[in-house]
Structure 1
């Protein structure tokens, strides 16, 4: 459904370290593509067959802020991958939020393993694996 998602960062090198490690738990390998935009902002692009995650210094020159109510969800292949995503995020400057990682009853959505973290800039990330119906 999505082609790309872009998040702002106030420290592009810190974000590179964080996302390289965290996305590595999902099978993303290698270095992100580094690009400098026309206004001099450094941008990182983590490309995968399913789309692209961009991390950028804000184009308007203002500080990057996180979206209130916004969450970026990453599909995981297992409950263990959800836990690994969470633990690697914490080890690389993220913050665990909401309930501890684990099994949740999503009612009509079914059961799923979830973990929520905030990246070093405050963006809310979710690792999710839905149990087969």
Structure 2
């Protein structure tokens, strides 16, 4: 591990069964495997890290994620090329996933190419290919 590398991402969800189906498909496409499952946690792992989901507090007044409130705005995964972004887009469309923005080049960085979509609780997710990023360290 490198100092500062993200170790894991933990998300809370309103419906564990519904989210398990969604994340099994998405994370399987991205090369993750489900490694652990209990009533309170489902964990997927790959060489790129760990993603977990846990049930949200049923007493919480928020029933859907609001990315403009304090907390997570969105979660972006990396792609090796534009074809992977396009393939994931097609994969998501076939499953009826809500697409926010289809694959396109965005002006964040030169060559930034991404698709944006929502998980079942409205958490914004992204797959992006950014050539020459991160820059090579000297």
Q: Normalising TM by the smaller chain, what interval?
A: 0.7 to 0.9
Deviation at 1:64, TM superposition (A): 5.2
Select the residue among 29, 43, 54 that pairs with 1:25. Answer: 29
Structure with the bigger RCO (C-alpha within 8 Å, sep 6+) is 1
Contact 1:58–1:64 under 8 Å retained in 2: no
Normalization by structure 1: what TM-score? 0.79
Change (3 A) 1:75 1:128: same
Any gaps of 5 or more consecutive residues in structure 1? 37-41
Going by fraction, where is strand more abundant, 1 or 2? Answer: 1
Query: How large is the RMSD of aligned CA atoms in angstroms?
Result: 2.2
Tell me, yes or no, if structure 1 residue 56 matches structure 2 residue 50. Answer: no
Alignment TM-score, normalising by the size of structure 2: 0.76
The offset of 1:93, in angstroms, is: 4.4
**Selected match of 1:77 from 73, 76, 80:** 80
Q: Distance in 2 between matches of 1:26 and 1:115?
A: 14
CA contact (8 A) 2:31 2:46 kept: no
Distance 1:4 1:126 in 2: 17
Aligned residues: 124
Q: Distance in 1 between matches of 2:55 and 2:123?
A: 14
Match in the other structure for 1:39: none
Q: Could you tell me whether the CA contact under 8 Å between 1:116 and 1:124 is conserved in 2? A: yes
CA contact (8 A) 1:17 1:92 kept: no
Instruction: Say if 1:3 and 1:52, in contact at 8 Å, map to a contact too.
Output: yes
Aligned 8 A contact 2:103 2:113 in 1: yes
Correspondence 1:1-133 to 2 at 5 A:
1-29=5-33, 31-36=34-39, 42-59=40-57, 61-62=59-60, 65-69=64-68, 70-98=73-101, 100-106=102-108, 109-132=109-132
* Unaligned ranges ≥5, structure 2: 134-138
